[in-house]
Structure 1
């Protein structure tokens, strides 16, 4: 660790002092500090983390969604959707991971932090597109990776691997059309080679 890098425990203490009762859980593992806040406190907590002494997280480096529905082979018991942020303090040379769970599984929703960190804009659109997480207050929440006519959210664990619809160019209609998917889902089993002298390596003599 560089002599100019803030120690994880120092970051943890600063975040704990700044957020106080807004913290649901906080931990430091493998040199990384993670704090969990509720959806109700999420936006306010982010504002505090941006400006509070000892925090000063000026930059949002990444934001993504998570679907926990198949976590631990389906044995997980908790909110299905989570949003994870990675923050950087340039002035203090420290990092922080923030996690917030959507209160409802049917319509997962958390506040947008696009007004705090402009870099959240496309990240939130991506999480909306792929997971269906709604970011309340986002001023341009629309798909960013999938096509305009795409149905569903492809990173959800229950999304079929072959999708719902496909698009192709129709020569007769002279335009792109959408139709129900025609690709049949098949399981590909890798070929296992069991030759004794495969690759020119002779088997060992016992």
Structure 2
């Protein structure tokens, strides 16, 4: 671990103490995890504390842990990860928080702290169904307003639930149940006797 990451880790542990559920340094990145009830308070301190000064929000990502590592996951299902940058100190941190309720995931919005969170939280809501309490305009941003479900959830079918097409008789786009038949794609394997042998072309 570099001296800079070690210093950042020590400051984070000192400032947040028991509020940190975990602090992981991996591949040159620091990730901290906090409870949903502490999320907004910790985010505010990350922005305003002079020794941290994470004045810029780079991204917010939704996460679905329902089949993490290709196996059953024992913890909460939905999380949000905020990627923060301190230009002043030239370091980054990832702030991760799990929603308490898997059936109706809700987290606090950080739009008042970082206005750039607006569209990222809308994207996370649209694709994962994570609600952000206090968001000024939480509505879909990538899918159609009539879209059913959240397509980045791991239990969402690859073909979706509905498809749309232009109906010339009605003169507009119409929705209908998916007509794609599920099929198994088995790759064709070509085996040549001398494949990969340099001496045989």
Normalising by structure 2, we get a TM-score of: 0.94
**How far apart, in 2, do the equivalents of 1:185 and 1:11 lie?**
50
Structure 1 residue corresponding to 2:62, chosen from 59, 62, 65 = 65
Q: Does 1:51 align with 2:48?
A: yes
Q: Which residue in 1 is equivalent to 2:123? A: 126
Q: Which residue in 2 is equivalent to 1:189? A: 186
Alignment RMSD? 2.0
3-state SS of 2:123 partner: helix
Q: What is the 5 A alignment of 1:12-23?
A: 12-23=9-20
Q: Does 1:28 align with 2:25?
A: yes
Q: CA deviation at 1:21?
A: 2.5
Q: CA deviation at 1:197?
A: 4.6
Q: CA deviation at 1:196?
A: 2.2
Q: Which residue in 1 is equivalent to 2:166? A: 169
Structure 1 residues 200 and 33: alpha-carbon distance in aligned structure 2, compared to 1, 3 A threshold: closer
**How far apart, in 1, do the equivalents of 2:64 and 2:48 lie?**
30
Moved more, 66-75 or 148-157: 66-75
1:32·1:95 contact (CA, 8 Å) conserved in 2?
A: yes
Q: Which residue in 2 is equivalent to 1:145? A: 142
Question: Which whole-Å deviations, capped at 9, do the CAs of 1:121-142 have from their partners, x for residues lacking one?
Answer: 1111111000000001001111
1:15·1:54 contact (CA, 8 Å) conserved in 2?
A: no
Q: Which residue in 1 is equivalent to 2:37? A: 40
More helix by share: 2
**How far apart, in 2, do the equivalents of 1:8 and 1:201 lie?**
47
1:6·1:94 contact (CA, 8 Å) conserved in 2?
A: no
Moved more, 118-127 or 191-200: 191-200
Q: Does 1:154 align with 2:151?
A: yes
Q: CA deviation at 1:200?
A: 9.1
Structure 1 residues 120 and 6: alpha-carbon distance in aligned structure 2, compared to 1, 3 A threshold: farther
Question: Which whole-Å deviations, capped at 9, do the CAs of 1:76-118 have from their partners, x for residues lacking one?
Answer: 2000001011100000101001100000000001000011111
**How far apart, in 1, do the equivalents of 2:165 and 2:191 lie?**
42
Moved more, 26-35 or 81-90: 26-35
**How far apart, in 1, do the equivalents of 2:115 and 2:182 lie?**
40
3-state SS of 2:92 partner: strand
Normalising by structure 1, we get a TM-score of: 0.91
